[in-house]
Structure 1
Amino acid sequence: MINLLEFVIGGLLLGGVYGLIALPISMVHSTTHSLDAAVGGHAVVAAATAAGVGGVAGIAAGVGVGALSAAVAGLIYLGLRYTGHSDPITFVLATFGLAMALQAAVLMLHGRDPITAHGFSGTFQFSGILVRYQSLLNLTVGIIAVVALTFVLQHSSAGRSLRACADNVVGAQLAGLRVALLQFLAIFVGGLLAAVAGVLLLYSAGLTYMSGLHLTLAAIGAAVLFGLRGPVHGFAGALLFGLVEALVYGYTSSGVAATIPLLFIFVVLALGRSTIETGRP
């Protein structure tokens, strides 16, 4: 029973970090009808930069470099849009290429060694389970992010403009909204949150130069679980994804565990438990 509780707690704490990457996926999808396939790359390049610089300056540098890569993804979207490439899959493929470029850059500059650093080393006991302060911090940051993002979307002029773009792009343009800028902002915010998640993972589980693809699939899968309906649903999906991943790793071999979470998502979608929607985020 203790082992099960330990896996559940660990999975929820891991899901909190996944949530930071999954949070804006629904918003970006609803605003642009596409997905940024480089969100995992933003996280890894931020973690690698933070590890290379070290300390508080490393954290700032990591988030800054991650924000820069997110801005590049946004500029790619704008470039495709202004050259007439409006098919959503075009942006997905373009950002997948960006993700591969980021992976190559991290491999060249950091090498194949794991990307890790020491965060808060203390622990506390909860129902007989030792919980790291760093893991609790990760979940706390995720909860703050989902509350803040939901508040902005529901109660700010920028949020209302983003929701207007999601409802009717042509109508938003006729109303004078700068749709392209708002879409760039949605992509940028998504990459920025992914960069923060990458730094948090650096100080908890650690990463490798190849972790970007797994993080991207985890974020997309978590957002899809409850239908790409907004930040709250995306975060809830991430918590569920983290829980399933922790249970699978705890009770199966590592080889099987690498495939079970995504298989779980496939089963959920195949059973019709999730609906991809393009309405309000």
Structure 2
Amino acid sequence: MAFFLETLLGGLMAGMLYSLVALGFVLIYKASGVFNFAQGAMVLFAALAMARFSEWIPGWTGIDNRIAVNLAAFLLAGMVMFVVAWLIERLALRHLVNQEGTTLLMATLGIGYFLDGIGQTLFGSNIYEINIGMPKDPMLAFESVFEGGILINKEDLYAALIAAVLVAMLSLFFQKTSTGRALRAVADDHQAAQSIGIPLNRIWFIVWCVAGVVALVAGVIWGSKLGVQFSLTTVALRALPVVILGGLTSVPGAIIGGLIIGVGEKMSEVFVGPYVGGGIEIWFAYVLALVFLLFRPQGLFGEKIIDRV
């Protein structure tokens, strides 16, 4: 039982991190109706900014306190992502209002390649470290309940808690604020939203800013775990099955989908992998996503699209 719970907790913590990356896809899709292929590049760009600023700030200011340096680096990286969001809206999206979804999709592809290139130009292409003080040693919990206790990775636990807090804040933002309701209105119908006075350009800027903050938090967490390198863009690919499973238009779907994928990967690898040679964790999420595409393409919580002709 203890081993089962240990695997379950590991899956839930991994699932929260998947949900965090998937939220970036959902946010952009809800605001513009287009799948944002630049999300992986945004995660990498934000992580590079955080890593490099944390290296440069002590030389600029003489401050050597790690907490102060990390906080300043995070704020500067956040400002950089706001500037990136403003430039994307100003130079690209503003000129593509009411265009076909394919046009917007290609625009996000171009934005992704641009961020990859400019990230190397500004911050370098080496492997960098992000040290935000999360402990990497495992700990034993529930020793009085289970013999030997349950082994929990502290870094995964803290990362999952951070992701959970951000996900909860974003859910409240969408459900309880006037800006969140305006975002949902824009996602439903751009032209109708404009006709009732919702400024489309401002809404797109806000949602790209929020997506930038989500990318920054995701980049910091994954960069702390894996190191900041250009393979970090593939983290977004791990979130694709989450989006398909939960639904492209649903914030709760991104959360539930991430938890299902995380638990499913861990459980299948640990309990089924030994009988089939392992490697299930690599392809499990994509096979599950394929099944949903065949039988429920809108996902668990996505809106079913009906076209009448």
TM-score range, shorter chain: 0.7 to 0.9
137, 156, 159: which is aligned to 1:135?
A: 156
8 Å CA contact 2:15–2:262 kept in 1: the answer is: yes
80, 83, 87: which is aligned to 2:100?
A: 87
Structure with higher Rg: it is 2
124, 134, 154: which is aligned to 1:120?
A: 134
One-letter amino acid of the counterpart of residue 6, structure 2: E
155, 167, 184: which is aligned to 2:205?
A: 184
One-letter amino acid of the counterpart of residue 262, structure 2: G
One-letter amino acid of the counterpart of residue 41, structure 1: A
Aligned-residue Cα RMSD (Å) equals 3.1
8 Å CA contact 1:42–1:66 kept in 2: the answer is: no
Equivalence for 1:195 = 216
Equivalence for 2:295 = 271
Secondary structure, counterpart of 2:36 in structure 1: coil
User: Offset of 1:221 from its aligned partner?
Assistant: 2.6
Partners of 1:267 and 1:70 in 2: CA distance: 37
Partners of 1:63 and 1:262 in 2: CA distance: 35
Q: Aligned pair count? A: 278
Partners of 2:37 and 2:205 in 1: CA distance: 15
The answer to whether residue 248 in structure 2 is matched with residue 236 in structure 1 is no
8 Å CA contact 1:63–1:199 kept in 2: the answer is: no
One-letter amino acid of the counterpart of residue 226, structure 1: G
Equivalence for 1:208 = 229
Identity of aligned residues (%): 25
Partners of 1:94 and 1:62 in 2: CA distance: 28
Moved more, 70-79 or 261-270: 70-79
One-letter amino acid of the counterpart of residue 222, structure 2: L
Q: Under a length normalisation based on structure 1, what TM-score does the superposition of the two structures give?
A: 0.82
Secondary structure, counterpart of 1:90 in structure 2: helix
Equivalence for 2:111 = 98
Q: What do the CA deviations read for 1:243-281 (whole angstroms, capped 9, x no partner)?
A: 3343455537786643442232112222326445389xx
Secondary structure, counterpart of 1:120 in structure 2: coil
Are residues 31 and 47 of structure 1, via their aligned partners in 2, closer, same or farther at CA, if it must alter by over 3 Å? closer
The answer to whether residue 162 in structure 2 is matched with residue 148 in structure 1 is no
Q: What do the CA deviations read for 1:152-188 (whole angstroms, capped 9, x no partner)?
A: 2222111122122223322221211112210221122
User: Offset of 1:60 from its aligned partner?
Assistant: 4.1
Equivalence for 1:168 = 189
Partners of 1:138 and 1:61 in 2: CA distance: 18
Are residues 131 and 247 of structure 1, via their aligned partners in 2, closer, same or farther at CA, if it must alter by over 3 Å? same
The answer to whether residue 242 in structure 2 is matched with residue 222 in structure 1 is yes
One-letter amino acid of the counterpart of residue 217, structure 1: L
Partners of 1:208 and 1:216 in 2: CA distance: 14
Structure 2: 5+ residue stretches without partners? 56-65, 143-148
Q: What do the CA deviations read for 1:5-50 (whole angstroms, capped 9, x no partner)?
A: 4333222112212222212422321221112222222222232333
One-letter amino acid of the counterpart of residue 99, structure 1: G
Runs of 4+ in 1 over 4 A off after TM superposition: 1-4, 104-110, 247-250, 252-257
8 Å CA contact 1:24–1:186 kept in 2: the answer is: no
Partners of 1:64 and 1:95 in 2: CA distance: 24
Structure 1: 5+ residue stretches without partners? none
Partners of 1:247 and 1:206 in 2: CA distance: 26
User: Offset of 1:78 from its aligned partner?
Assistant: 4.9
Secondary structure, counterpart of 2:225 in structure 1: coil
The answer to whether residue 170 in structure 2 is matched with residue 157 in structure 1 is no
8 Å CA contact 2:51–2:228 kept in 1: the answer is: no
Moved more, 197-206 or 120-129: 120-129
Secondary structure, counterpart of 2:158 in structure 1: helix
